[in-house]
Each structure stands twice: as C-alpha cells, then as structure tokens.
Amino acid sequence: AKDYELRQYETAKWVSTVIRGETQKEAMRQGFWKLFHYIQGKNEKEMKIDMTVPVTCLTKSGCTDFKISFFVPFEHQDSPPQPTDSDVFIEERKAAAIFVRSFGGFASPEKYAEEAEVLARILRNRGQPFHEDFFYTAGYDSPFKLFNRHNEVWYFKK
C-alpha cells in the first residue's frame, strides 16, 4: 500500500535494555548510551561491534517502561558477546510479519505516536488484524544527519 508496507522479518538477536519511569525521550537517551557502551567493548569479550540500524524502542500503551534495542550485526548473530552491564541483555525476536509506516525528519516521541496512530487507523480501516497494545519506533540515522532522514513505526500483524 502507498501509506504502509508489510514486511517479513526473520528470527534475529538484538541487544536491549529497559529504562523504567522516564519520558520516552530520556529513556531513549539513557538506553542508547547503555547499548553504545556494549558495542564499544563493555561485553565479556571486550569486543568492539559495529553500530547497526535501526535503533528500536518498544512502546506499550499506558506504560512508562521503554525497551531500547540495537540489531546485532549478522556476523555476531550466532554468538553475540554477553553484556557485562546487568541492565543490558541479548534477546531473540521471533520471525514476524510487521506493518511499517515510514516518515522523514527529526522524530520526536510525539511524532512517533502520531505516525503510529495514523498507521493503526489505516490498518483498522482496511480490516488488518494487528497487536494494538504496543508498537516499535525505529530510527535509522545519526543525530548529525540533517537531511533525508528515515524513521519508522512498526505494528506486529496478528
């Protein structure tokens, strides 16, 4: 469809952390730095790992816990180094069909929420069943990239 796409993602490992009781903006900042330290060598192998995209944030309605995640690069998928920070963990996300809406610009938590609501409305109008109680935000660009930015919101298909 012109206003969203349906993607099939394979099972994959992500390195994640959960930040509780903060605003989404502050949770993203804190979570990013915890994960950045992991890829800079704060792991059991003291291994530097390439930064990947997207950086995702799991947002649940009515909840102030945010799970921030980096995709584990393909060459480390089989055995990612274990984090040494007790707040950071490796998770395996199962294969899933995901509805995706893309948009440009600098994404704020408000803009992500607005785009998620637009996507939810489109999916409901088209009779597409999806998990409405949570969505992911996905950011693809460094904060230093000024133009042609790429952001997404994801809902999982039921």
Residue 7's pLDDT band (boundaries 50, 70, 90)?
Answer: very high
pLDDT tens profile 106-143 = 999 999 999 999 999 999 999 999 999 999 999 999 88
Q: Does the pLDDT value for residue 18 go beyond 90?
A: yes
Q: What are phi and psi of 14, to 5 degrees?
A: -130, 150
- The size of the chain, in residues, is 158
* Mean pLDDT computed over 59-70: 94
The ranges assigned to domains in the chain are 5-156
pLDDT greater than 80 at residue 19: yes
CATH number of 5-156: 3.20.80.10
Residue 105 in tokens: 């610009």
Three-state SS letters, 30-89: HHHHHHHHHHCCCECCCCCCCCCCCEEEEEECCCCEEEEEEECCHHHCCCCCCECCCCEE
pLDDT given at position 119 = 98
In the β-sheet with 151-156, what is the strand arrangement from edge to edge? 5-9, 96-103, 151-156, 134-139, 55-60, 65-71, 12-20, 88-93
| The pLDDT of residue 142 | 87
Pairing of strands 88-93, 12-20: antiparallel
Mean pLDDT of 95-114: 97
**Residue at token pair 């903060």:** 22
pLDDT for the residue numbered 28: 95
Average pLDDT for 25-50: 96
